[in-house]
Amino acid sequence: MKKIALITGATSGIGEACARKFAHSGYDLIITGRTASKLEQLKAEFEADGTKVLTLAFDVRNSEAAEKAVNSLTEEWKKVDVLINNAGLALGLDKEYEGDPEDWNTMIDTNIKGLLTMTRLIVPGMVKRNEGHVINIGSVAGDAAYAKGNVYCGTKAAVKAITDGLRIDVAETAVRVTNLKPGLVETNFSNVRFHGDYERADSVYKGIKPLTGEDIADVAYYAASAPKHVQIAEVLILATHQASGSVIHREM
C-alpha cells in the first residue's frame, strides 16, 4: 500500500512543489487549499501519472471547516503517513506600530492557529499507529527578527517553539517531527506580502539567486525518506548569498 502525504496550502509555491515531489516519489496525496479549481487541476495532472489524489478545499483558519474535511476521510485515506503543514503567509512590511491589525490576525490565524488545527486533527492517528511524520514549514524569520518583519517573524518563532514542543510530546512514540526553515524562496510569497504589488515583490529577489519551492521540497522529501531511526529535527535552508534573515549579498 502506498504511503499518504497530506499537504496544506498545496496550490502554489512550496506546497505545490512538495505535492509534485511526493507524488513523483510514489506517495498518494491529500492536497488542501482555498482554491478548489487549482486543487482539481493538480489532481487531474497527478492522477494522469498514476498518483491517487484526494482534494480538500478549505481555509486552515477555519477550524470547523478543517475538522469537517478531515472527518470526511474514508478509511483508505485516514492513515496519513506525512503531514506537511505548509499553509502560511506574510502580509505587509510595516513598522510594528504602523501595521495593519487585519494583516496581523491573518498571519497569526494561518501560520500558528492553522498549523495547530491540522496537527490536532492528524497527529492523534499517528500516535495511535505509532508511526508518522510531521513536517512544519517554518522560516529563517523564526530565528531572529528583521526590520519590519515583526509579526511575521513572531509567527515563525512560534512555529519553531510549537514544533519543538510537539517533538517532545511524541518522543515516546515513533512519530518524527521536522521544522524546515527556508530563507529567500521565489514563490508567490512576496506578491502576497505586498498585496499584489508585483514590482515591489520582484525587487525582493534582485541581485541574488533565490531558492525555489523545489529546493525546499527536496529537503522535505529527504527528511521523510530518512531511515526510521533518524529524525531530521530542523533544517535551515538559505540561498548561497544569504547568511541570515537580514544579511543578503546582492550583486547589482
Q: What confidence score (pLDDT) does residue 202 get?
A: 76
Q: What confidence score (pLDDT) does residue 45 get?
A: 97
**Does the annotation mark 146 as catalytic?**
no
Write the DSSP symbol of residue 108: I
Cell numbers describing residue 102: 487585519
Cell numbers describing residue 220: 522535505
> Cα–Cα distance between 238 and 244 in angstroms, integer?
8
CA angle 7, 196, 148 (to 5 degrees): 85
Q: What confidence score (pLDDT) does residue 204 get?
A: 84
* Domains of the chain (ranges, CATH numbers): 4-237 (3.40.50.720)
- Answer left, alpha or beta for residue 44, where phi above 0 means left and psi between -120 and 50 means alpha: alpha
Maximal CA-CA distance, the chain: 55
Q: What is the pTM of this model?
A: 0.95
Q: What confidence score (pLDDT) does residue 194 get?
A: 67
> Cα–Cα distance between 117 and 214 in angstroms, integer?
26
Amino acid at 32: T
> Cα–Cα distance between 87 and 84 in angstroms, integer?
9
Specify whether the CB–CB gap between 51 and 30 falls below 8 A. Answer: no
Q: What confidence score (pLDDT) does residue 191 get?
A: 66
Catalytic residue, candidates 152, 205, 221, 222:
152
Q: What confidence score (pLDDT) does residue 197 get?
A: 66
Burial category of 130 from C-beta neighbours within 10 Å (exposed 0-12, middle 13-18, buried 19 and up):
exposed
Per-residue pLDDT of the chain (252 residues; tens, 9 = 90+): 799 999 999 999 999 999 999 999 999 999 999 999 999 999 999 999 999 999 999 999 999 999 999 999 999 999 999 999 999 999 999 999 999 999 999 999 999 999 999 999 999 999 999 999 999 999 999 999 999 999 999 999 999 999 999 999 999 999 999 999 999 999 876 667 767 766 776 778 889 999 999 999 999 999 999 999 999 999 999 999 999 999 999 997
